[in-house]
Amino acid sequence: MLPRRIAKAPKRSSRWRSQAHCSFVRGHECVVPGCHDRPIEVAHVRIGSGAGMGQKPDDFLTVSLCRGHHAEQHAIGEASFALRHRVDLAQLADAFAAASPRASEIRAEKAART
């Protein structure tokens, strides 16, 4: 007979999720200057998120990228992508969060974590 199973501790408690915020982000053009490609995808920004490997950041840490630029972001990494295209992904994610229809919820969530 096997001994009792040891429960795994969760990697992190939970992440903030919002379909409304993701739809808001998806409703904008690609954040890469001069890009007008479609479709637009919600790209999560890991820089400064506190999420580890294999963990998706909160939905308020998102920017709008076309499918090609989103794939490039994953292929070369966020830091290289930001340098190549001269975009500040963390600042853009903050701007999306501030303008979101869920901005008050995002502010409350960020305040609860500090």
pLDDT digits (tens, 9 = 90+) for 30-65: 999 999 999 999 999 988 776 666 778 899 999 999
Is residue 101's pLDDT more than 80? Answer: yes
Mean per-residue pLDDT of the chain: 91
pTM, rounded to two decimals: 0.84
Per-residue pLDDT at 22: 97
31, 87 contact by CB (below 8 A):
yes
Distance CA 28, CA 26 (A): 5
Per-residue pLDDT at 54: 72
Per-residue pLDDT at 8: 76
Spans of all domains in the chain: 19-113
- List of E strands, 24-94: 40-44, 62-66
